[in-house]
């Protein structure tokens, strides 16, 4: 894959000449003419290397480097600083704010190429070395289940919480239910634990702060026996979904804390979901028998396949939330979706209303209800897959 280099410099001639020279070496080049634009491009494009000028009018290179190093997305991207200054103090400052290498303008093309090649090679070697997240994944003993949908309002949270409760009912093993949608939390209110800030705390800190102990301290225990990591209801917290590396670390830590970890991922494929889905032992998609939703779900499955997720390991649950003739039958949904349906849930609005009043999953409050039995049956199939892995 072609390595991408982002050049941040207010000098148009430097952007053009350095960019052209590196393009001829086979690199993909992106350019920004000031610090603010450079930060935005770095977060959006995830370059393999950043060439950063120190002397810029709106925000100097030192401040840009500080901000790059504070953001988990750009924390490890190599930075090569270059400037017209030759003072030793300037170089020391550059290294202190996070630069990996330093060159003085004007620099010879051969020297610049050598430094670029060395930094990229060093970065590639670091990626091959086991880091804390990878190590945690290798040590995991938990079965991680990701639950999502193509659209909102299809019952992802209900399925996640009742599946978690069903697995706990069957096994009495440690089960963690984690809600990963900051700013859109609903499980806390439904289960009688509102205003939770556990996920927010983990996403606001640095990746290094997402330790096993820290994650464990952010869990709360529900009277159903489930351990909960809950998202806040504060709408402003939705911006935390950009903390992709924190999410990866959280899932890696959770996987060492329980036998089963059920993730409420919400809807769609934001960046953090794309990273987490391959970390899951299996993926569950919630769909309803409506043509538009089925079409969106079909696209979702295709996109997940592009993420190297085995289609055969994707379980689709048909959630008939309302009693209506407008919804399609199981066979029709399977035919239009082009994917088998693993389970069907019949409408049970009264049972879910009662569960909300009792602040517990329906499987706990109404264990003999037909829908609760369907959840338990689906949980049995999940347990079979967990044993066979």
Cβ(132)–Cβ(255) below 8 Å: no
Cβ(196)–Cβ(231) below 8 Å: yes
- What averages of pLDDT result for each successive group of 10 residues across the chain (389 residues)? 89 88 91 91 91 89 90 86 69 82 84 91 66 46 93 93 95 95 91 85 90 92 93 93 93 93 96 93 94 94 92 92 72 92 89 87 91 94 91
Instruction: Decide: residue 349, CB within 10 A, 0-12 exposed, 13-18 middle, 19+ buried.
Output: exposed
* Token pair belonging to 270: 């934001």
Q: Which pLDDT belongs to residue 316?
A: 96
Cβ(277)–Cβ(146) below 8 Å: yes
Residues 239-251 pLDDT 10s: 999 999 999 999 9
Residues 324-365 pLDDT 10s: 666 788 899 999 999 999 999 988 888 888 888 899 999 999
* Token pair belonging to 86: 């030759």
- State the greatest distance between any 2 C-alpha atoms of the chain, in Å, as a whole number: 77
* Token pair belonging to 339: 């994917």
Q: Which pLDDT belongs to residue 326?
A: 65
Q: Which long-range contacts (CB under 8 A, 24 or more apart) does 276-279 make?
A: 276/146, 276/180, 276/247, 276/248, 276/251, 277/146, 277/148, 277/304, 277/307, 277/309, 278/307, 278/308, 278/309, 279/137, 279/144, 279/248, 279/251, 279/252, 279/255
Residues 173-219 pLDDT 10s: 999 999 999 999 999 888 988 778 899 999 998 888 898 899 999 99
Bridge-based pairing of strands 227-229 and 220-221 is antiparallel
Q: Which pLDDT belongs to residue 134?
A: 44
Domains of the chain: 4-129 (3.40.50.2300), 133-388 (3.40.50.300)
d(CA 23, CA 49): 14
List Cα–Cα distances, 12 to 9, 145, 180, in angstroms: 7, 50, 43
d(CA 94, CA 105): 15
Query: CA-CA-CA-CA torsion for 335, 336, 338, 343, nearest 10 degrees?
Result: -70
Q: Which pLDDT belongs to residue 133?
A: 47
């Amino acid at each position: 894959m072609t390595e991408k280099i982002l050049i941040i410099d207010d000098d148009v001639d430097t952007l053009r000449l350095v960019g052209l020279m590196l393009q001829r070496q086979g690199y993909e080049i992106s350019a920004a003419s000031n610090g603010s634009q450079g930060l935005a491009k770095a977060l959006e494009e995830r370059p393999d290397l950043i060439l950063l000028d120190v002397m810029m009018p709106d925000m100097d290179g030192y401040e840009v480097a500080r901000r790059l190093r504070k953001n988990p997305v750009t924390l490890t991207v190599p930075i090569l600083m270059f400037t017209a200054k030759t003072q030793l103090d300037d170089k020391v400052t550059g290294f202190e704010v996070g630069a990996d290498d330093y060159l003085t303008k004007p620099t010879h093309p051969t020297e610049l190429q050598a430094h670029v090649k060395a930094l990229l090679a060093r970065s590639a070697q670091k990626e091959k070395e086991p880091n804390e997240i990878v190590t945690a994944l290798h040590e995991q003993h938990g079965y991680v289940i990701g639950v999502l949908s193509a659209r909102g309002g299809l019952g992802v949270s209900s399925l996640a919480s009742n599946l978690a409760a069903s697995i706990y009912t069957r096994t009495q093993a440690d089960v963690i239910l984690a809600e990963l949608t900051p700013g859109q939390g609903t499980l806390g209110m439904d289960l009688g634990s509102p205003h939770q800030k556990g996920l927010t705390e983990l996403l606001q800190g640095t990746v290094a702060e997402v330790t096993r102990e820290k994650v464990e301290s952010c869990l709360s225990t529900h009277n159903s026996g489930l351990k909960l990591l809950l998202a806040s209801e504060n709408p402003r917290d939705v911006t935390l979904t950009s903390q992709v590396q924190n999410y990866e670390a959280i899932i890696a830590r959770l996987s060492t804390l329980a036998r089963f970890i059920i993730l409420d991922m919400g809807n769609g494929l934001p960046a953090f979901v794309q990273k987490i889905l391959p970390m899951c032992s299996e993926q569950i998609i919630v769909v309803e028998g409506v043509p538009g939703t089925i079409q969106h779900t079909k696209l979702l499955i295709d996109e997940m396949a592009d993420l190297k997720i085995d289609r055969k390991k994707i379980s689709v649950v048909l959630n008939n939330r309302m009693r209506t003739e407008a919804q399609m039958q199981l066979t029709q949904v399977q035919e239009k979706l082009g994917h088998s349906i693993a389970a069907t849930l019949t409408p049970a609005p009264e049972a879910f209303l009662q569960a909300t009043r009792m602040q517990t999953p329906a499987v706990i409050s109404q264990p003999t209800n037909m829908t609760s039995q369907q959840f338990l049956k689906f949980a049995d199939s999940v347990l079979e897959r967990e044993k066979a892995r």
